[in-house]
DNA sequence: CGTGAATCTTAGCCATGGCTTATTTTATGA
DNA sequence: TCATAAAATAAGCCATGGCTAAGATTCACG
């Protein structure tokens, strides 16, 4: 029985490979989600999403932003005429809403467990893409618990 | 005052850009950390780390694994002779230890808040790279709290 | 001890997502 | 209106991290 000679690998190769595969999948969607979320924010706060603002807020050069926007357009998340601002398609808007919802849950969860706001802002940006639906639901439950604790009398 | 015409962008462009930059930095280290952690696990459980096992557990082809291992070697995390197994350098071992420690904290934190083990296994794989030290410390505190709750009398 | 299977490497492909430099287009204001 | 500044695009670079197909090496066993 070789498997007992030293216990360290708890997972089977398959389940471990599946976990990594899942992470890779998440990565593929990350940029897309971050961009549509940001574009939606820009539209709501500034009235339109300009490439220059996207680039600034992503912290990358305009050409880099432009290339990714082109991919988003190719994949049906945004539309934009040359030299004009960027619009979300229905598909893009839907994804943006979903992403922001997740982002908010993660952010509020971190606050609820005592993470300082500035740190929670930073961390939630990275974490949001890697939280499963099941874990997200638990996050929500805990947010609610904390809310109930601090304001016990708000039934209905 | 343009900034009040619609509130949605809570963060300044700079801090938002910094958060994304931080995520990109984390991504750069992700593969490295996952590999050294896995290699360390393989060495401890099987006695050595073979490329074929790394590839299997990462869920990728051998040539892909080989290419990444070459990068890790270039960057001083591992050593390996052609057609021989893979060893961690001191630098690699140190990183592996740190990574597993983080991974464990995230994993046990998820368990502590009620995430099922199989989900916690999957999620912790993706989350570990995006949790700041500050948040990680809070995770540890909560793990300890839950432990105290379920076993109140273990002072010393 | 030699051969076939397993393992590993090489070569070459692709997409993503960064970058710079240079050019084109648009917008602004004197 | 027209010159200049700002914004966007184009072209071309690089690294990462996937892949397949094909070749080299090692290992194990008959």
Answer yes or no: is pLDDT of B91 > 50: yes
pLDDT of residue B9: 62
3-state secondary structure of A87: strand
B5: in domain: no
pLDDT in tens, B58-77: 999 999 999 999 999 999 99
Our count of domains for chain A comes to 1
A130: in domain: yes
**Does the CA dihedral B62-B68-B71-B72 come out positive or negative?**
negative
Looking at the C1' of nucleotide C21, which residue has the nearest alpha carbon? A63
| Spatial distance between the Cα atoms of B127 and A129, rounded to a whole number of angstroms | 9
Give B35 or B1, the one with higher predicted confidence: B35
Q: What is the 3-state secondary structure (H, E, C) of chain B?
A: CHHHCCCCCCCCHHHHHHHHHHHHHHHHHHHHHHHHHHHHHHHHHHCCECHHHHHHHHCCCHHHHHHHHHHHHHCCCEECCCCCCEEECHHHHHHHHHHHHHHHHHHHHHHHCCCCHHHHHHHHHHHHHHCCHHHHHHHHHHHHHHHHHHCCCCCC
pLDDT of residue A154: 59
Least confident of B4-18, B85-99, B104-118, B130-144: B4-18
* A133 near B CB under 8 A: no
Largest Cα–Cα separation, chain A: 67
pLDDT of residue B156: 45
Using a CB-CB distance cutoff of 8 angstroms, which residues of chain A are in contact with residue B58? Answer: 17, 20
Residue A28, domain CATH? 1.10.10.10
B60: in domain: yes
Answer yes or no: is pLDDT of A110 > 90: yes
| Shortest CA distance from A24: residue in chain B | B126
B145: in domain: yes
Quote the mean pLDDT of chain B.
92
The gap between A2 CA and C18 C1' (Å) is 46
What protein residues sit with their CB closer than 7 Å to strand D?
A 24, 50-52, 62-63, 66-67, 69, 80, 82-83, 85; B 28, 30-31, 58-61, 63-64, 67-68, 71, 82-83
A6: in domain: no
B71: in domain: yes
Domain encompassing residue A75 = 21-150
pLDDT in tens, A12-61: 999 999 999 999 999 999 999 999 999 999 999 999 999 999 999 999 99
A5: in domain: no
B113: in domain: yes
- The interaxial angle of helices B13-46 and B62-74, nearest 10 deg, is 110
Q: How many Å lie between the alpha carbon of A90 and the closest alpha carbon of chain B? A: 20
pLDDT of residue A8: 58
* A132 near B CB under 8 A: yes
Give residues 35 to 74 of B whose Cβ lies within 8 Å of A: 41-42, 44-45, 53, 56-60
């Amino acid at each position: 029985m070789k498997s007992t000679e030293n216990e360290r690998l708890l997972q089977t190769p398959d389940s471990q490979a599946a976990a990594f595969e899942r992470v890779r999948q998440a990565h593929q969607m990350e940029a897309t989600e971050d961009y549509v979320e940001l574009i939606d924010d820009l539209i709501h706060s500034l009235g339109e999403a300009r490439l220059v603002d996207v680039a600034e807020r992503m912290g990358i050069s305009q050409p880099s932003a432009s290339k990714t926007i082109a991919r988003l357009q190719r994949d049906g998340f945004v539309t934009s005429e040359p030299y004009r601002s960027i619009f979300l398609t229905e598909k893009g808007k839907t994804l943006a809403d979903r992403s922001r919802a997740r982002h908010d849950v993660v952010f509020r969860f971190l606050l609820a467990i005592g993470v300082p706001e500035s740190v929670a802002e930073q961390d939630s940006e990275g974490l949001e893409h890697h939280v499963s639906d099941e874990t997200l639901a638990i996050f929500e439950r805990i947010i609610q618990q904390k809310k109930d604790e601090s304001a016990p009398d708000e039934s209905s």
